[in-house]
Amino acid sequence: MSKVMMVALGVLVLLLIVFPFGVNPYTVQVAITTITYSMLGLAFAFTMRVGLPRFDIPAWWGVGGYTTALLMKDGMSFWLTALIGGIIAVILGALVFSIAIPRGMIPFLMIGMVLTLAFYQMYGSVSLFGAWSGITNVPPPTIGSFEFVAKRDLYYMGLFFLALNLVVYYLLFNSKFGRAWNAIGSSLRLARSVGVDVVKYRMANVLIGNFFLALAGSYFVGYYHAALPAVFSFQSALLVMVYLIIGGFTHSLAGPILGALIATFIPQYLRVEAEYQTIFTAAIVILILMFLPLGVLGWVDQKVKPWLYRQRWYARLNKGKVLG
Amino acid sequence: MALLEIRNLSKYFGGLAAIKQLNLDIFDSEIVGLIGPNGAGKTTLFNVITGFYPPNEGKIIFRGEDITGLEPHQIAQRGLGRTFQQSLLFMRSTVLENILIGFHMNCRAGALKEFLHTSGSRKADQEAREQALEIIDFMGLDPLKYKLPEELSSGYQKALAVSIAFATKPKLLLLDEPVTTLSPDKVEMIMKLIAKVRDAGTTVVVIEHNMKAIMDFCDRIVVLAYGRKIAEGLPQEIRENKEVVEAYLGAIG
């Protein structure tokens, strides 16, 4: 990584840590929401890399959420419930996807939708999950005697989960897994012809995503203190996709985060009324699809980067290095 | 024992017999030309051998093992490589990364093990890189290694397609029209590369319509028409075979 990049990253990390001290708690809450939607978006972009659009995000997000809600009510430690939720999501996922993945992209897509609807129905009808009223008054996460109640502390917890997610994905992308996934996303037939077991690598990809989705669900209940069916609904699946389009779906790590940032902060800044937020988001998506189809990051790749390379001061900063 | 044995192979698409009761042997270290008019079943034969289509009848035995009905990736891992008529490439990756995928994926090393041994995986990646660079050097692609496939001329794109298949270190390589549409000098470049691959120990079967390339570089020629083998032999014999001429030009008189 170049010196410029390292400095920029350092500044970013510093800003992220200092952020809650300079703003009011409400803005911190918005940041918490951004973190949640970033994690969901990361999961969607993750499976898109192997050519599988997943519509089942609310289902597994809910598995983590409800596992944490139920087990914490029984007194279990938050962190243990998060781990258990992740494991359940992986095991259930393995059962379902062993049928779905060998059949290809369209069956996978359809089964994803069915999963979201089925889980939603289950969360709302089964009394164990509190039916439509859900499970409320979930105690806050703790480490020893320290309780995560203040918005600032929950924000840092979120940063931890998000960082964990990003680091694991980044390491995977730069491993044999990442190489196989790139091949699968590029050309299924060619990948098969050079010995890539497409089903096995797709399965690994989807199940890893399942684990982190469940983790996101546990984090959500950690600050929302409740698990309600209405949260883990089909609409959330669509919102996640929309945020990724805004950010730029060709960038698996930065796209979802940028998209979530734009879609959660801009309505706040413009003081859009809560009822109009979805309409506002829809308007942004239509504009993006018309003018920046590859999202903000796609626009950066196509217009900003070439402009940047032409600037004298940028060339001087990167003296001697191969650009692009 | 032959490297590849095809026994009584048939493939039907609905009522149409694309391949009918085909028997064929391919031996070590030869370059075999597979020719025949369009629709003769040549590409279908490749697809059946490499597991992309299951056959309706018959057996395929590779290196003494019955590989009939196996998945394409399983067959590739057993040392059988191929290219596609449309010259498929990994368009989003550099030439070096294309070769790396071909080489790395055929390594027996497990992806999970590699990932968990982070120091081991760095070493494995370094080794893979070195081997890939060797292959790139062997195939004459060194000056192009950081370019994207879309930046290459069609001649080099086809060379890259052959190189990716070669990177899997196959015992048998099936090339589907590797020089179609190329100018004569590029045809010679690719055919010389194929001869180099054979000399390094890989058997090659080539589907082609370019008669000069076939006659100049193949040890043996097999002719297919309407899903059947109608002739087999040395280039000179095939050139003088009446049935072959008729199959290509239609019966005269």
Say whether pLDDT at B64 is over 80.
yes
Q: Which helix (DSSP H) or strand (DSSP E) does residue A7 occupy?
A: helix A3-22
Instruction: Single out the residue of B75, B94, B5 nearest to residue A193, CA to CA.
Output: B75
pLDDT higher than threshold 80 for residue B116: no
- Within A49-175, residue ranges assigned H as helices are 57-73, 78-100, 105-125, 151-173
Selecting from B91, B102, B121 the residue whose C-beta is nearest the C-beta of A175 gives: B121
| Percent of chain B that is helix, strand, coil (3-state, to 5) | 45, 25, 35
Q: Which of A219-233, A237-251, B99-113, B216-230 has the lowest mean pLDDT?
A: B99-113
Mean of per-residue pLDDT scores for chain A: 90
The CATH number of residue B230's host domain is 3.40.50.300
Residues B127-142 have a mean pLDDT of: 89
What is the torsion angle, in degrees rounded to the nearest 10, for the CA atoms of residue A176, residue A182, residue A186 and residue A187? 20
Among the ranges given (A8-12, A138-142, A215-219), the one the predictor scored with the smallest mean pLDDT: A8-12
State which residues form the domain around B142.
Answer: 4-249
Whether B52 shows a pLDDT value over 60: the answer reads: yes
Q: How high is the pLDDT of residue B108?
A: 64
Q: Which band of pLDDT confidence, cut at 50, 70 and 90, is reported for residue B126? A: confident
A304 has a pLDDT exceeding 90 = no
What are A235's two structure tokens?
A: 């609409």
d(CA A219, CA A35): 10
- Residue from the list B74, B97, B106 with its beta carbon closest to the beta carbon of A194: B106
- State both tokens at B59: 């057996």
Tell me, yes or no, if B248 comes closer than 8 A to chain A by beta carbon: no
Q: Is A177 in contact with B115 (Cβ distance < 8 A)?
A: yes
Q: How far apart are the first and last CA of chain B?
A: 43
Taking the C-alpha atoms of B75, B80, B84 and B87 in order, what is their torsion angle to the nearest 10 degrees?
Answer: 120
B104 interfaces chain A, CB cutoff of 8 Å: yes
pLDDT at residue A211 above 90? yes
Split at pLDDT 50, 70, 90, the class of B111 is confident
Number of structural domains found in chain B:
1
Task: Give residue-wise pLDDT tens across range B3-23.
Answer: 999 999 999 998 899 999 999
Yes or no, beta carbons of B121 and A176 under 8 Å apart: yes
What integer pLDDT is reported at residue A319 of this predicted model?
Answer: 62
**pLDDT digit string (tens) for B210-221?**
989 999 999 999
Give the span between the Cα atoms of A303 and A290, in whole angstroms: 16
| A44, A187, B136, B218 from B92: Cα distances, Å | 20, 10, 18, 34
What backbone torsions phi and psi does residue B232 show, to the nearest 5 degrees? -155, 135
Element (H, E) at A297: helix A295-299
Range A266-276 average pLDDT: 75
**How far away is chain A from the Cα of B124, in angstroms, using its nearest Cα?**
10
- Residue A147 contacts B, CB cutoff 8 Å: no
**Which residue intervals of A174-252 are DSSP H helices?**
176-186, 188-193, 198-224, 234-247
pLDDT of B189 higher than 50: yes
Q: What pLDDT shows up at residue B253?
A: 44
According to the model, what pLDDT value does residue B117 have? 66
Tokens 């984090």, residue located = A219
* Confidence band for A318, pLDDT divided at 50, 70 and 90: low
pLDDT at B243 over 70: yes
Q: Dump pLDDT digits (tens) for A141-155.
A: 999 889 999 999 999
Q: Does A186 touch chain B (CB under 8 A)?
A: yes
Q: How far is CA A243 from CA A45, A82, A120, A142, B240, in A?
A: 11, 25, 22, 31, 67
Q: What is the pLDDT of residue B53?
A: 95
What pLDDT score does A324 carry?
Answer: 44
pLDDT tier, A320 (very low <50, low <70, confident <90, very high otherwise)? low
Phi, psi of B33 (to 5 degrees): -95, 130
Give contacts of B89 with chain A, Cβ < 8 Å. Answer: 187, 190
